[in-house]
């Protein structure tokens, strides 16, 4: 059964309203269908690009080392003392000068300024000279058999770096407080304080891989789908150090017999002796928020009760606010991460504010739906997109591999959705109902700026191994044929037949995520998908840091709120936190109203361009054309045969269940010629 609907562009906004959406940004994409095969930067531009990307890397390293170095003796002796003089502080006169500005100065020069410069430089570099795969990439992706092929060398390096940062912070914070005469209670207090600073380092890093538009992850060449696991790993370490921090102080005050010191007092002076009680209490509340987030983020809860996971993750707002209440200086540690996280969310919001325009939606069978979107932003083979269907869920975004290539379908982007669960089954019902009522489905789409790495030109053989559908590889196959010609030897192996015993038509409304109503066909504003332009990305970043930083400094200078009277320290910290958030939203609002010169779509529509008259292959035609081998395969024999005949390196691309990925890793990771990549969403 094949049912399809062509959707006319009647609801598309007028051309003069589209300059924001048509703000086409390269971001490691080609500007035209032929760019990826003909256009390449000059040697001089490439050299400057490499140098520029190196500068970006050094700036990001400085931004990471800045909160680390705060814990070293160097900060007090070589920075704090001389900078205090800048702000008029006289060590012999209590309360002189503006000592409250010393720490903001440190984080401005060591973290904020490097991040802003790196972000601006990287954005323009990616538009002109996109960074390619690192020569170390094959090694970093390789999984040693010593660890049963569970983790790659790159992942091991990440763990080593993060653990080293934690150990260094914990060690130096403990040593600076250690005395030979310390009692047991003092030791617990010192360890707890050291663990508190350790968890703070993790909080600085935790949000960086958690958004789809992070330039930090773009520079590292880590797509969002693969970067989420690093967010989870840092989260685990954060929870462990926070809980250990809390337990140490519980033990400390239990030994002293003063556990009530951890609870707020009602009849004490909040500006003096009662201040500590309230700070400890807010610290406990912050830890509890993080623990709730951690429990609801467990794989079972996340996959079966996503709405619970989604809702509880908003606890990061009170969790970070309570952390600032716990220790006011935390706002300076978190400032750069907060602004980056919020601007990344706003970039996503700018791309997904309206539904995406559909060109075509069809049920190819009782299992598979083909959806073709209009797209004026370039993309590369192997990219992934996230779609949200409000009729099925207001919160869920689901990732899908792109099954098209701009070389063959310029201006269009196609995905295939196979029924494997409630949401995908519901999507089949929804598409069918919209087809019957002759209305356009309402679908939102988001796409990260980081493309999947291209297939290296050094490969003599490319092997694709899939569980059933080769959806994740179709665009690569078309790209190879167009660009590589007969240079590459392509092998495809499918471990299951493409027909499985799952009939969407036989499912009931009870088996899909709730009941949905198809809209009544009223005109809906939709737009072709596009990224935010390079200019607006840079403008948003600059304004967000300028507004948030400026407001924070204005509130901090002289501690205007809590100076009279001192008991308003809680209001002071609340305002500091709020102005950081407000500054980002103010920047977003200003950026939205900045008009650029309207630009036409750089990619023509499907009806305006055809690639040599080629028609996309059906599943059976694709199988015959590429001589796809299906059924169970002895991977050891196949890999040894390929190794013996390969003239150069072999690219092995795997998409399928974890059991298949483990089987390929077990047989292929030990072969020196093989470079294995996984098309998997680490969600």
Q: Angle at the Cα of 318 (from 159 to 204), degrees rounded to 5?
A: 30
DSSP β-bridge partners for residue 466: 494, 655
Query: Tens digit of pLDDT for each residue in 41-60?
Result: 678 888 888 899 899 999 99
Under 8 Å between Cβ of 496 and 468:
yes
Higher local confidence (pLDDT), 317 or 379: 317
Cα separations in angstroms, 24 against 342, 406, 525, 597, 641: 22, 14, 20, 12, 45
Residue 264 tokens read as 């707020």
Cα separations in angstroms, 236 against 161, 216, 478, 537: 15, 21, 41, 31
Mean pLDDT of 254-259: 93
Q: What's the whole-number average pLDDT of the chain? A: 80
List, in sequence order, the alpha helices (H) in 485-614.
534-556, 560-563, 569-592
Per-residue pLDDT, 422 = 85
**What 3-state DSSP class applies to 334?**
helix
Mean pLDDT of 584-591: 93
In this model, does residue 497 exceed pLDDT 60? no
Structural domains of the chain, ranges and CATH numbers in brackets: 3-23+352-531+608-678 (2.40.30.10), 534-595 (no CATH)
Q: CA nearest 262: which of 291, 284, 290?
A: 284
- Neighbouring residues of 335: CB distance < 8 A, sequence distance ≥ 6: 107, 111, 112, 548, 549, 552, 580
Strands, sheet with 384-388, edge to edge from the N-terminal-most edge strand: 398-401, 384-388, 444-446
Pairwise CA distance, residues 606 & 273, whole Å: 71
Give the burial string for 156-180 (b: 16+ CB within 10 Å, else e): eebeeebeebbebbbebbbeeeeee
- Neighbouring residues of 487: CB distance < 8 A, sequence distance ≥ 6: none
List, in sequence order, the alpha helices (H) in 419-492.
422-437, 471-479
Q: CA nearest 456: which of 475, 478, 435, 484?
A: 484
Cα separations in angstroms, 417 against 410, 431, 470: 21, 11, 12
Mean pLDDT of 95-119: 93
Q: CA nearest 451: which of 569, 357, 531, 358?
A: 531
Per-residue pLDDT, 144 = 87
Residue 548 CA neighbour count, 13 Å, CB half: 32
Residue 110 tokens read as 């060591």
Residue 500 CA neighbour count, 13 Å, CB half: 13
In this model, does residue 586 exceed pLDDT 90? yes
Q: What is the pTM of this model?
A: 0.83
Higher local confidence (pLDDT), 516 or 556: 556
Query: Tens digit of pLDDT for each residue in 206-229?
Result: 988 888 888 888 888 887 878 888
For every residue of 35-97, DSSP letters joined together read HHHH----HHHHHHHHHHHHHHHHHHHHHHHHHHHTTSHHIIIIIIHHHHHHTT--TTSTT-S
Choice among 105-109, 199-203, 206-210 with the minimum mean pLDDT: 206-210
The fraction of the chain above a pLDDT of 90, given in percent, is 34
Query: Tens digit of pLDDT for each residue in 613-661?
Result: 344 555 566 666 666 666 677 788 888 888 888 878 888 888 777 778 8
Per-residue pLDDT, 251 = 96
Per-residue pLDDT, 35 = 36
Confidence label for 90 from pLDDT (cuts 50, 70 and 90): confident
User: What is the Cα Rg of the chain in Å?
Assistant: 28
Residue reference for tokens 């906004």: 13
Pairwise CA distance, residues 477 & 368, whole Å: 20
Pairwise CA distance, residues 330 & 231, whole Å: 20
For every residue of 485-507, DSSP letters joined together read TTSSEEEEEESS-S--S--GGG-
Q: CA nearest 302: which of 171, 392, 395?
A: 395
Residue 218 tokens read as 């773009």
Q: CA nearest 27: which of 168, 129, 101?
A: 129
Pairwise CA distance, residues 130 & 122, whole Å: 9
In this model, does residue 480 exceed pLDDT 80? no
Backbone torsions φ then ψ of 37, nearest 5 degrees = -110, -15
The enclosing H or E element of 458 equals none
Per-residue pLDDT, 523 = 61
Q: CA nearest 600: which of 9, 16, 3, 8?
A: 16
How many residues in total does the chain contain? 683
Strands, sheet with 489-494, edge to edge from the N-terminal-most edge strand: 629-630, 489-494, 459-466, 649-655, 674-678
Residue 278 tokens read as 């309230």
Q: Angle at the Cα of 350 (from 535 to 532), degrees rounded to 5?
A: 30
């Amino acid at each position: 059964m094949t049912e399809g609907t062509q959707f006319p562009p009647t609801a598309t906004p007028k051309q003069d309203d589209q300059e924001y959406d048509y703000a086409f940004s390269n971001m490691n994409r080609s500007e035209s269908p032929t760019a990826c095969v003909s256009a390449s930067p000059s040697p001089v531009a490439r050299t400057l690009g490499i140098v520029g990307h190196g500068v970006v890397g050094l700036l990001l390293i400085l931004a990471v080392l800045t909160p680390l170095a705060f814990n070293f003796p160097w900060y007090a002796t070589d920075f704090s003392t001389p900078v205090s003089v800048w702000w008029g502080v006289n060590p012999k006169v209590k309360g002189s000068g503006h000592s409250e500005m010393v720490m903001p100065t440190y984080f401005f020069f060591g973290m904020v300024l490097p991040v802003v410069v790196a972000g601006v430089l990287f954005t323009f570099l990616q538009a002109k000279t996109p960074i390619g795969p690192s020569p170390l990439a094959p090694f970093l992706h390789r999984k040693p058999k010593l660890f049963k092929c569970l983790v790659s060398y790159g992942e091991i390096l990440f763990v080593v770096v993060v653990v080293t940062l934690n150990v260094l912070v914990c060690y130096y914070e403990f040593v600076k407080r250690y005395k030979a005469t310390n009692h047991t209670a003092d030791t617990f207090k010192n360890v707890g304080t050291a663990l508190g600073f350790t968890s703070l380092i993790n909080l600085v890093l935790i949000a960086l891989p958690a958004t789809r538009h992070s330039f930090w992850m773009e520079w590292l060449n880590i797509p969002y789908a693969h970067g989420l696991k690093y967010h989870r790993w840092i989260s685990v370490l954060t929870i462990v150090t926070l809980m250990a921090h809390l337990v140490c102080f519980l033990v400390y005050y239990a030994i002293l017999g003063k556990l009530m010191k951890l609870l707020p007092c009602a009849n004490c002076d909040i500006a003096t002796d009662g201040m500590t009680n309230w700070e400890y209490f807010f610290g406990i509340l912050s830890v509890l928020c993080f623990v709730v987030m951690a429990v609801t983020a467990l794989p079972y809860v996340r996959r079966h009760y996503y709405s619970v996971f989604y809702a509880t993750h908003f606890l990061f707002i009170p969790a970070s606010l309570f952390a600032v209440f716990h220790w006011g200086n935390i706002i300076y540690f978190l400032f750069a991460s907060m602004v980056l996280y919020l601007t990344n969310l706003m970039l996503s919001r700018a791309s997904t504010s309206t539904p995406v325009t559909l060109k075509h939606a069809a049920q190819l069978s009782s299992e598979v739906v083909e959806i073709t979107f209009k797209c004026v932003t370039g993309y590369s083979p192997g990219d992934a997109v996230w779609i949200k269907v409000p009729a099925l869920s207001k919160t869920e975004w689901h990732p899908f591999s792109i099954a098209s290539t701009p070389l063959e379908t310029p201006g269009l982007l196609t995905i295939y959705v196979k029924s494997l669960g409630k949401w995908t089954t519901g999507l089949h019902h929804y598409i069918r109902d919209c087809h019957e009522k002759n209305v356009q489905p309402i679908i939102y789409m988001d796409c990260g700026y980081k493309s999947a790495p291209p297939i290296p030109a050094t490969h003599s053989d490319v092997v694709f191994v899939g569980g059933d559908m080769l959806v994740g590889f179709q665009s690569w196959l078309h790209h190879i044929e167009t660009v590589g010609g007969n240079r590459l030897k392509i092998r495809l192996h499918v471990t299951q037949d493409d027909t499985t015993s799952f009939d969407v038509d036989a499912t009931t409304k009870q088996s899909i995520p709730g009941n949905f109503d198809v809209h009544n066909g009223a005109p809906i504003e939709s737009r072709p998908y596009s990224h935010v332009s390079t200019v607006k990305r840079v403008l948003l970043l600059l304004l967000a840091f300028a507004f948030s930083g400026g407001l924070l400094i204005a509130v901090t200078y002289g501690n205007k709120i809590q100076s009279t009277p001192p008991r308003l320290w809680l209001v002071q910290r609340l305002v500091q936190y709020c102005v950081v958030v407000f500054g980002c939203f103010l920047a977003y609002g200003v950026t939205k109203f900045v008009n650029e010169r309207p630009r036409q779509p750089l990619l023509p529509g499907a009806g305006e361009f055809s690639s040599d008259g080629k028609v996309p292959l059906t599943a059976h035609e694709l199988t015959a054309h590429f001589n796809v081998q299906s059924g169970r395969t002895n991977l050891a024999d196949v890999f040894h045969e390929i190794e013996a005949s390969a003239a150069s390196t072999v690219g092995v691309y795997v998409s399928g269940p974890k059991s298949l990925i483990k089987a390929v890793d077990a047989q292929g990771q030990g072969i020196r010629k093989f470079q294995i990549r996984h098309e998997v969403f680490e969600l």
